[in-house]
Amino acid sequence: MKVLLINGSPNRRGCTYTALSQMAETFNKEGIETEIYHIGNDPIRPCLACRSCGRTGKCVIDDKVNGFVEHAGEFDGYVIGSPVHYGSAAGAISPFLDRVFFVDYMSGRDSFKHKPGTAIVAARRAGTTATIDQLNKYFQINQMPVISGRYWNMVHGMTPEEVKQDKEGMQNLKILAKNMAYHLKCKEAARKAGINPPAPEEVEYTNFIR
């Protein structure tokens, strides 16, 4: 089993990385492999709403999103991490995730369906719960179980050293990783017992303008 941890911060080894590393360490102790993927600080263009991905299986904007979509399907669970910027997620991660999940859906891959996901955030002070809500919506629209901890999935601090001093926040990340590990192990046991995910249904689209 493998979990992909996505670092949505412009800083490769900042506060968000410190939080993700805490979870990766716990996953590894639970026998689960991990990879931390840094989306980087290159500009990420937003979705053009051209729907070309439905025909070609990839985004018409040929950047790291296409490579990530191919790579992400290999994993069994996902953690999205972001700093809080102006009360919401970091500037690059939103267009990145918009396109990743749209390409995955439109291409028919369904790489994320029925796989667990969770969001964690790092902040100096405020805007954390709004950012968690924002990131969790990617899971909720893709039939992904959202894993929770014992409190909101956040850490506080201006530097990695300060984040490590947030003992309650860091402890919750350990609990969060253990909860996801438990879910993954239960899912694997169910698979071996012949219990499969629900069969897909044909989607009925409803518009409100007649």
Q: What is the CATH number of the domain that holds 113?
A: 3.40.50.360
| pLDDT of 210 higher than 80 | no
pLDDT of 208: 86
- Answer whether residue 209 is part of any domain: no
pLDDT tens-digit map of 142-190: 999 999 999 999 999 999 999 999 999 999 999 999 999 999 999 999 9
**How many structural domains is the chain composed of?**
1
CA geometry: angle 56, 101, 209, nearest 5 deg: 90
- Answer whether residue 198 is part of any domain: no
Contacts 24+ apart (CB under 8 A), 62-68: 64/39, 64/40, 65/96, 65/99, 65/100, 65/103, 66/103, 68/37, 68/39, 68/96, 68/100
- Write down the pTM of the prediction: 0.95
Rounded Cα distance between 73 and 157, Å, is: 33
Q: Residue 74 sits in which domain range? A: 2-192
- What are the backbone dihedrals phi and psi of residue 21, each rounded to the nearest 5 degrees, phi first? -65, -35
What is the Cα Rg of the chain in Å?
17
- Answer whether residue 125 is part of any domain: yes
Rounded Cα distance between 190 and 195, Å, is: 5
pLDDT band at residue 209, thresholds of 50, 70 and 90?
A: confident
Letter string b/e over residues 89-102, b meaning 16 or more CB atoms within 10 A of that residue's CB: bbbbbbbbbebbbb
